[in-house]
Amino acid sequence: MTDRTGDAEVDALIGREQLRRTRSLQLIASETEPSAGVRTAMASVFDTKYAEGYPGARYHGGCEVVDDVERLAIDRARELFDAPYANVQPNSGSAAGVAVYAAFAQPGDPVLALRLDQGGHQTHGSRANFSGRWFSPLHYGVRTSDERIDYDQVRDLALVHRPRILVAGGAAYSRFYDFAVLREIADEAECVLWVDAAHLAGLVAAGVAASPMPYADVVTVSTNKVLRGPRGGLILAPGRHRVVLDKAVFPFVQGGTAMNAIAGKAVAFAEAATPEFAAYVRTAVANAAALSAALTERGLRIVSGGTDTHLAVVDVTSLDLTGVEAQRRLDAAGIVVDKAVLPFDTRPVSQGSAVRIGTPSVTLAGLGTQDMPLLADWIVEALRSPVGSRDDGGPHARIRGQITDLPAG
């Protein structure tokens, strides 16, 4: 164990988490590992500096250094994404989303987004979330034929309901979006086009996915996913939205921001502009495609027939499993995934009929496309085996041992 706090109980928990990670494969699509530089910035003296406001206009003294840190992060974000405007203050991707609502909508306004049970995100209209309580959510979906977004349905809904905001993006949709078509629809319906690029931003930075910047009125980013930054958010937009978005972040949504996270974002944005970062993202996407293909060869169906990105949704109904049970069996084998629902799933969301997989973390651990068939073998064997004792010597224990024996990346 390398991290020490001086608190024995917390140190023990840190050690347990480090051990869990070394003894399992992390296939959580929204997780990755920040670089040593990002971790250093997060643990720096900036952690304790209060800095309400913006550079040059703070509500606290002693902000001359953090002003420079924030300006540096802004400049790097703008250059990385070719964006006229960047706000690096949001404390999370969800907080960035709240600011978008605050900037462009009023309570009760209709907002059109991808259905939550077909890949959308809870901040796009879940009744359990502020977005579904404070606004009037409308949802488009995917086609039954290919499980890809039905852009004709998007247009029809937008023209009938005239939403204030049209949202593109989600948590479990593995295909690229047609931003040009969405821009046309937004123009026809006279609404704001918001691209929630929480999962896509790292791919855009690496040149693997098309940028939404030429099409969107506003783009939000979670800096802690594929981008490998600290947990936090980012807003990108044309310059004409600067004033309304700045006011929406501060003072409407947040007070003092996490300056250590902003320092970490500055490091991450610089790293994301390197050839090494682009190579990591290309490998993560290639791994997702290879793993999807290998699972298909072994009899499992991948939603939409595959993936364009670092994530995929795997249908487990052919094994007569729920998503919850599939997640439990894989966890017993040291393969960590999220339960998920299928488009048009007949099971409740709490159970689901699928699992969501993602390859950023295993890519950073050193796995390549040549390793995906073996990983698929482990996944299928674990899914087909009921869970016994974790130490009963059965298939789950054997797979855990093989994972532990993998060379470090």
Q: Are 205 and 81 in contact (CB under 8 A)?
A: yes
The answer on whether 295 is annotated among ligand-binding residues is: no
For the whole model, what pTM was predicted? 0.95
At 405 the pLDDT is 81
How many angstroms separate the CA atoms of 305 and 217, rounded?
31
Choices 2.60.40.1120, 3.40.50.300, 3.40.50.2300, 3.90.1150.10: CATH for 275-402: 3.90.1150.10
At 404 the pLDDT is 86
At 329 the pLDDT is 97
Question: Exposure of 340 by Cβ count < 10 A (0-12 exposed, 13-18 middle, 19+ buried)?
Answer: buried
251 cis-preceded (ω within 30 degrees of 0):
yes
At 1 the pLDDT is 41
At 101 the pLDDT is 96
Backbone angles phi, psi at 344, to 5 degrees: 65, 30
At 389 the pLDDT is 60
Nearest to 381 by CA among 400, 366, 365, 363: 400
* Token code pair at residue 232: 């936090």
Choices 3.40.50.10420, 3.40.1160.10, 3.40.640.10, 3.30.565.10: CATH for 39-273: 3.40.640.10
Locate the domains of the chain by residue range: 39-273, 275-402
Nearest to 110 by CA among 141, 140, 139, 135: 135
Backbone angles phi, psi at 69, to 5 degrees: -65, -45
At 5 the pLDDT is 87
Amino acid identity, residue 366? Answer: G
pLDDT by residue for the chain (409 residues), tens only, comes to: 456 889 999 999 999 999 999 999 999 999 999 999 999 999 999 999 999 999 999 999 999 999 999 999 999 999 999 999 999 999 999 999 999 999 999 999 999 999 999 999 988 888 899 898 999 999 999 999 999 999 999 999 999 999 999 999 999 999 999 999 999 999 999 999 999 999 999 999 999 999 999 999 999 999 999 999 999 999 999 999 999 999 999 999 999 899 999 999 999 999 999 999 999 999 999 999 999 999 999 999 999 999 999 999 999 999 999 999 999 999 999 999 999 999 999 999 999 999 999 999 999 999 999 999 999 999 999 999 998 765 666 899 999 999 988 865 4
